[in-house]
């Protein structure tokens, strides 16, 4: 059997609603199609909803794991294309700040997972202690930004906090909901103009996904757009990003 990568990556953002969960779930499907064994960790521990993207209803979730009632293998649910999801809880604010002990339970249960290529962590927006923690344990950090000026400002804030709290210097930028490549590049340039000036970090323009109404059509039906619309622009753009991930 070939060697698995065992790579944890985190998809995060400053502002909410920029498309993190949408990117994570569709990315996992594309990677699955490339024979990359992929898990999703829904790390939005108080408003988790990645299972909704797939239309699956998990019986157990990360709360049962943290409370020691279930092992990780028992809470994992399978989505389309063989993706495996570690589901979160919804509407429970008690996990908005994980204690050291709870973090340790989580970390040791990740070690129980069978061999895999990618563990993609979908975080909540903003700069809570959980977001910092999940980014700190990831090999690569991806920040999703949109052309919305508020998203730009909040991205800068999140990069700054992650850099200060984890010492990380490398951040991958995915621009979502751009009109075209030019607008995506402009967004990237705007952020680097500020980070170059004030922070000792390196940003990599990892790729962009255009604004695509087929995404909304699929999302409303609780379907993955890459599956429903294999030829739509957003799918092609995400495939490019995934090609880079496995390169
Ligand atoms: N490229 C795109 N084109 C059109 N619509 C998009 C695009 N990307 C995401 N969306 C839509 O934007 C909305 C928000 O996406 P999503 O829930 O993935 O964001 P999020 O960053 O995970 O939000 P939250 O911060 O609340 O977790 C969804 O309705 C999704 O279908
Ligand atoms: Mg989300």
pLDDT(73) > 90: yes
Closest residue by Cα to atom 25, ligand 1, is 16
The CATH code of domain 7-246 reads 3.40.50.300
Distance CA 158, CA 52 (A): 26
- Contact (CB, 8 A) for 38 and 120: yes
Mean pLDDT across the stretch 224-245? 98
Distance CA 173, CA 32 (A): 22
Ligand 1 pocket member 18 (CB < 6 A): yes
Taking the CA atoms of residue 58, residue 35, residue 171 and residue 123 in that order, the dihedral angle to the nearest 10 degrees is 0
pLDDT(1) > 80: no
pLDDT(47) > 80: no
Q: Name the residue ranges covered by the structural domains of the chain.
A: 7-246
pTM over 0.95: yes
Q: How far is the CA of 72 from the centre of ligand 1 (A)?
A: 28
Banded model confidence at residue 3, pLDDT cuts 50, 70, 90: confident
Banded model confidence at residue 168, pLDDT cuts 50, 70, 90: very high
Ligand 1 pocket member 174 (CB < 6 A): no
48/132: higher pLDDT = 132
Q: What share of the chain in percent tops pLDDT 70? A: 98
Closest residue by Cα to atom 12, ligand 1, is 19
- Contact (CB, 8 A) for 235 and 29: no
pLDDT(230) > 80: yes
Distance CA 229, CA 219 (A): 11
Atom of ligand 1 nearest to the CA of 177: 1
Give the pLDDT score at 141: 98
Q: pLDDT (tens digit, 9 = 90+) per residue, 77-127?
A: 999 998 999 999 876 667 888 999 999 999 999 999 999 999 999 999 999
102 φ/ψ angles, rounded to the nearest 5 degrees: -65, -40
Give the pLDDT score at 45: 84
- Contact (CB, 8 A) for 48 and 245: no
Atom of ligand 1 nearest to the CA of 47: 27
Give the pLDDT score at 143: 98
**Four-residue CA torsion sign, 170, 174, 175, 181:** positive
Q: How far is the CA of 133 from the centre of ligand 1 (A)?
A: 23
Distance CA 46, CA 125 (A): 11
Residue listed under structure tokens 């993609």: 120
Give the pLDDT score at 91: 65
Distance CA 239, CA 12 (A): 19
Give the pLDDT score at 87: 93
Mean pLDDT across the stretch 58-76? 94
Q: How far is the CA of 162 from the centre of ligand 1 (A)?
A: 22
Q: How far is the CA of 96 from the centre of ligand 1 (A)?
A: 21
Q: Give me the chain's average pLDDT, please.
A: 94
Q: How far is the CA of 131 from the centre of ligand 2 (A)?
A: 12
Angle at 85 between CA 237 and CA 208, to 5 degrees: 15
Mean pLDDT across the stretch 204-210? 98
- Contact (CB, 8 A) for 158 and 12: yes
């Amino acid at each position: 059997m070939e060697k698995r990568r065992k790579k944890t990556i985190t998809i995060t953002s400053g502002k909410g609603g920029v498309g993190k969960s949408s990117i994570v779930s569709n990315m996992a499907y594309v990677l699955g199609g490339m024979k990359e064994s992929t898990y999703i960790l829904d790390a939005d521990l108080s408003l988790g909803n990645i299972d909704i993207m797939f239309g699956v209803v998990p019986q157990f979730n990360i709360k049962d794991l943290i409370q020691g009632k279930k092992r990780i293998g028992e809470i994992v649910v399978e989505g389309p294309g063989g993706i495996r999801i570690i589901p979160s809880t919804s509407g429970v604010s008690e996990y908005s700040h994980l204690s050291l002990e709870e973090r340790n339970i989580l970390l040791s249960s990740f070690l129980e997972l069978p061999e895999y290529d990618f563990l993609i962590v979908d975080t909540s927006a903003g700069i809570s202690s959980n977001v910092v923690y999940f980014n700190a344990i990831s090999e690569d950090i991806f920040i999703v930004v949109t052309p919305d000026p508020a998203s730009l400002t909040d991205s800068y804030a999140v990069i700054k906090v992650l850099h200060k709290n984890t010492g990380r210097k490398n951040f991958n930028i995915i621009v979502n909901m751009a009109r075209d490549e030019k607008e995506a590049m402009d967004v990237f340039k705007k952020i680097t103009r500020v980070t170059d000036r004030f922070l000792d970090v390196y940003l990599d323009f990892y790729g962009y996904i255009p604004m695509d109404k087929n995404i909304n059509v699929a999302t409303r039906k609780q379907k993955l757009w890459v599956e429903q619309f294999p030829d739509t622009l957003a799918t092609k753009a995400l495939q490019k990003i995934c090609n880079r991930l496995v390169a």
